[in-house]
Amino acid sequence: MKKLASALAAVALLTLTACGSGSPSGSSTSGAPSSAASGAAAGLEKSSIEVGVIPIVDVAPIYLGVQEGLFKKEGLDVKLTLAQGGAAIVPAVTSGQMDFGFSNVTSLIVGRQKGLPLKIVAAGPQTTGDEKNDFAAVVTKADSGIKDIKCLEGKKVGVNTLANISDSTVSEAVKQAGGDPSKVQFVEMAFPDMPANLAKGNVDAIAAVEPFVTLAKNDGAVPVFSNYAYPVKDLMVATYFTSDQYVQQNPKTVAAFTKAMKASQQFAQDNPDKVRAVLSTYTKIDAAVAAKLTFPKFPQEVNKESTQKIAEISKERGLIPELPDMNALLPTE
């Protein structure tokens, strides 16, 4: 427990993930100065943009893109503003306070179904596809008796937000394994609190993401499976989005942002060492922990199939009464 407490203190991330609650922290990072003239020369409606992000591994590509000049190349001067979760970023984008934001796909699906004019414009992190080696995992104590997915039936499982992507994917996995997902008791807690709650026995398992998967494993916990790698194939967990109005008023800016994000995602995919290095610029992940992290894939294209599947699971679980207009939510190309 001393080792766990020390590691958690070193990490100390104020993150509830893309679907968590919270308000903008006011912390921001700007890219290398690029003049408004460069954006104007490129014919952009706006050259200076603000993007709401969360201090987690998943957004490393956009930080690298700013650092490596990939946004500047497209005429964009980027201000990255940290928030605790997507619940703060979504209203900031729809109100015009921010130009773009980062959020998981379940939150965006639910928001679109409720009438929010949300539009996905660029890919975010995607599962590795490996149930045993992914950046997200359901982890338990070595002596818990939970040997497989079906064993989660009747257990308490910690998730960062109820009625969202983690409990949805865990429930679907239990169902597909022949268990009764209604018998899984989900307990809401912030990601940083998960390893300690597991160690204390407050829950039987946790649905965690990096670096908390690594921290829990360092304290002796064992993974059961990755709820992002299974049951949805090639799950794209989160994306970058804006509003319908913003797309209509700033089509060239949106195109430039999408192009820069694709380049940033590919750069991160090709340079894992630089991903590890950039984490220290916007998180408090200890270097020793960063060295052990499992990263997600960073694809260039939005996975429309997996997003459609998450929408169907959301409807089946009662998160939404009916599917939103997926064509309106997903990229047009």
Average pLDDT over residues 296-311: 97
Q: Is 79 within 8 Å of 101 (Cβ atoms)? A: no
* Omega of the bond leading into 24 within 30 degrees of 0 (cis): no
How confident is residue 29, by pLDDT bands cut at 50, 70 and 90?
Answer: low
Of 25, 11, 18, give the one whose Cα is nearest residue 160.
Answer: 18
Distances (CA, A) of 126 to 30, 59, 104: 26, 12, 11
> What is the CATH code for 136-225?
3.40.190.10
Domain pair 2-126+236-329 / 136-225, same fold: yes
pLDDT at 235: 98
pLDDT at 83: 87
User: In CATH, what is the architecture of 2-126+236-329?
Assistant: 3-Layer(aba) Sandwich (3.40)
Q: Where are the domains of the chain?
A: 2-126+236-329, 136-225
How confident is residue 190, by pLDDT bands cut at 50, 70 and 90?
Answer: confident
How confident is residue 224, by pLDDT bands cut at 50, 70 and 90?
Answer: very high
How confident is residue 15, by pLDDT bands cut at 50, 70 and 90?
Answer: very low
Q: Please give, one letter per residue, the 3-state secondary structure of 193-241.
A: HHHHHHHHCCCCEEEEECCHHHHHHHCCCEEEECCCCCCCCCCECEEEE
Say whether pLDDT at 71 is over 70: yes
The tens digit of pLDDT for each residue in 96-133 reads: 999 999 999 999 999 999 999 999 999 999 999 999 89
